[in-house]
């Protein structure tokens, strides 16, 4: 009898590549992209006014933030692969709940979808830091954006159009894509990541690692860039459609414009080349000041709705540039021993922006129309531009003469 040997690829799974992570991110883009313009419309239809929509987004943002902070604590007891899988199942449950259609179901579906995004994002970033070297992070981010282009480009427009044809359609597609996302994750055989040692004591309080974050200026600055950039996207995704409806430009305009903007993701490799022709600090600063100028201008010319929308679209193009380069300062500064904790901190930028944006917007709407939210977003982006002046001018350069602990530095 011949001894049957187990194939090498079964006994030792190949390390996941940049392309593998890009494909996984691309599938998630379909899951979330087709609903990103649908949820604001569904919420506005159910609640009837912008202030109520802002308040509920505010509450869901707080819930999502708490969930994100608990993830590092929970995955000490629940294997990371099961945490990621649970996030995929939450996507499916949220889409299924939204099909019910009642106001309560829509709010619950948005909450599940938002929490699922947080859980999968934390796990995804931790896996990336486990398997992708620092020098490859830029290429990994570009690959992630490139593979996500289809979902974020076609999804928003398809979602709002399909919703008019058959209301459950975008939710059915999102649930199906979440199943594919779960299958791709298990195909990659990521397991629980690279665990170096076993925990020697009880799990820390989930907030115990926050002091370590605040004493590292590079991490704080990188986090602010991600959070303020995300505020810009919140304004574009949630308040542009409301502005369009209020000014008679149609319910579908927001989703169509978001799809057009996200088509820029296909140019991610070219944008990366543009970034590489200058210092990372210069690219980040140009992106923030340009986006801030466009958003602020959109608020000023609100009396001419078409011009206001055009300014927002141009500003969103600069947000795409920032999506590619503004996250790198944080990722380059993370220590290997703090991957899980700092990934949780980093992922919370979505939730913090999801709390701040509708919270500030609710206050602005008390004294100004929706266009006032655009101007407030421009001011926040200008603030990020000011902070980015403190980035080290050689940030991101890979030179042997530069010690690893000085790759990213703020003054």
pLDDT computed for residue 411 by the predictor: 34
The partner residues of 410 in beta bridges, in order of sequence, read: 391
In whole angstroms, what is the distance from residue 77 CA to residue 70 CA?
Answer: 12
From the CA atom positions of the chain, what is the Rg in Å? 21
CA distance readout (Å), 289 to 164, 271, 295, 354, 381: 37, 17, 10, 22, 7
d(CA 26, CA 36): 15
Exposure letters 79-112 (e unless 16+ CB within 10 A, then b): ebbebbbbbbebbbbbbbbbeeeeeebbbbbbbb
Q: What is the pLDDT of residue 397?
A: 55
Q: How far apart are CA 143 and CA 140, in angstroms?
A: 5
The predicted structure's pLDDT at residue 9: 40
At the fourth CATH level, the homologous superfamily of domain 15-191+210-397 is MFS general substrate transporter like domains (1.20.1250.20)
The values of phi and psi at residue 169, to 5°, are: -55, -50
Greatest CA separation for the chain: 84
pLDDT tens across the length of the chain (411 residues): 444 554 444 444 566 777 888 889 899 999 998 888 888 888 877 777 777 777 888 888 888 888 877 877 777 788 888 889 999 999 999 999 988 878 888 889 999 998 898 889 888 878 887 777 666 666 777 778 778 878 878 888 888 888 888 888 999 999 999 999 999 898 887 766 554 334 444 445 556 677 777 877 778 888 888 899 999 998 988 888 888 888 888 777 877 887 787 777 777 778 778 877 777 778 888 889 999 999 999 999 988 999 999 999 999 989 988 887 777 777 777 776 676 667 667 777 877 888 888 888 888 888 888 889 999 999 999 998 988 877 766 655 554 444 444 333 433
Residue 177, both tokens = 């894509």
Residue carrying structure tokens 């609710």:
362
Residue 347 CA to residue 328 CA, distance in Å, equals: 14
Residue 221, SS3 per DSSP: helix
Number of Cβ within a 10 Å radius of residue 312:
26
Contact criterion met (CB below 8 Å) for 350 and 250: no
Q: Which two tokens stand for residue 292?
A: 């801030």
Whole-angstrom distance between the N-terminal and C-terminal Cα of the chain? 69
- Whole-number Å distance between alpha carbons of 132 and 143: 12
Place of tokens 């011949």: 2
- Which residue blocks in 101-168 are alpha helix, DSSP H? 103-131, 137-165
| Alpha-carbon gap, residue 292 to 261, rounded angstroms | 17
C-alpha distances in Å from residue 275, one per residue of 20, 21, 113, 283, 323: 24, 22, 33, 6, 12
Q: How far is CA 301 from the centre of its chain?
A: 29
Residues in contact with 153: Cβ distance below 8 Å, sequence separation at least 6, in sequence order: 33, 259, 262, 263, 265, 266
Cα gap 27→98, rounded to integer Å: 20
pTM for this predicted structure: 0.69
| Tokens representing residue 94 in the block | 């949220």
Q: Domain residues of the chain, as ranges?
A: 15-191+210-397
Contact 66, 118 (CB under 8 A): no
Nearest to 361 by CA among 114, 105, 58: 58
CA angle (400, 405, 411) in 5-degree steps = 110
**Residue 134: Cβ within 10 Å count:** 18
pLDDT at 410: 36
Q: How many C-beta atoms lie closer than 10 Å to residue 298's C-beta?
A: 29
List Cβ neighbours of 363 (8 Å cut-off, separation of 6 or more): none
């Amino acid at each position: 009898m011949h001894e049957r040997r187990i194939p090498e690829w079964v006994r030792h799974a190949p390390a996941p590549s940049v392309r593998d992570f890009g494909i996984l991110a691309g599938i998630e883009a379909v899951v979330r992209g087709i609903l990103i313009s649908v949820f604001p419309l569904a919420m506005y239809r159910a609640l009837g006014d912008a202030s109520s929509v802002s308040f509920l987004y505010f509450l869901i943002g707080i819930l999502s933030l708490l969930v994100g902070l608990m993830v590092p604590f929970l995955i000490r007891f629940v294997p990371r692969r099961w945490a990621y899988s649970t996030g995929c199942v939450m996507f499916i449950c949220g889409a299924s709940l939204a099909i019910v259609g009642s106001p309560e179901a829509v709010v619950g579906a948005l909450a599940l979808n938002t929490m699922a995004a947080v859980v999968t994002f934390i796990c995804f970033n931790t896996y990336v830091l486990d398997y992708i070297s620092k020098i490859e992070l830029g290429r990994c981010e570009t690959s992630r954006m490139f593979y996500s282009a289809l979902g974020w480009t076609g999804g928003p427009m398809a979602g709002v159009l399909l919703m008019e044809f058959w209301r459950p359609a975008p939710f059915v597609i999102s649930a199906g894509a979440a199943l594919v996302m779960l299958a791709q994750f298990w195909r990659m055989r990521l397991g629980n990541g690279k665990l170096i040692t076993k925990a020697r004591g009880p799990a820390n309080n989930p907030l115990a690692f926050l002091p370590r974050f605040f004493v590292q200026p590079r991490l704080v600055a990188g986090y602010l860039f991600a959070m303020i950039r995300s505020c810009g996207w919140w304004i574009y995704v949630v308040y542009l459609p409301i502005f369009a409806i209020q000014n008679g430009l149609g319910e579908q305009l927001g989703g169509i414009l978001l799809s057009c903007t996200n088509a820029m993701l296909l140019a991610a490799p070219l944008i990366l080349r543009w970034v590489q022709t200058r210092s990372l600090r210069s690219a980040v600063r140009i992106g923030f000041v340009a986006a801030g100028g466009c958003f602020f201008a959109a608020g000023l010319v609100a009396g001419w709705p078409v011009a206001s929308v055009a300014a927002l679209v141009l500003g969103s193009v600069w947000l795409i540039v920032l999506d590619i380069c503004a996250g790198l300062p944080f990722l380059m500064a993370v220590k290997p021993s703090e991957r899980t904790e700092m990934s949780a901190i980093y992922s919370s930028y979505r939730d913090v922006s999801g709390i701040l944006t509708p919270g500030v917007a609710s206050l602005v709407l008390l004294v100004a129309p929706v266009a006032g939210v655009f101007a407030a977003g421009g001011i926040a982006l200008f603030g990020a531009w000011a902070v980015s002046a403190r980035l080290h001018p050689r940030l991101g350069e890979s030179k042997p003469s530069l010690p690893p602990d000085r790759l990213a530095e703020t003054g």
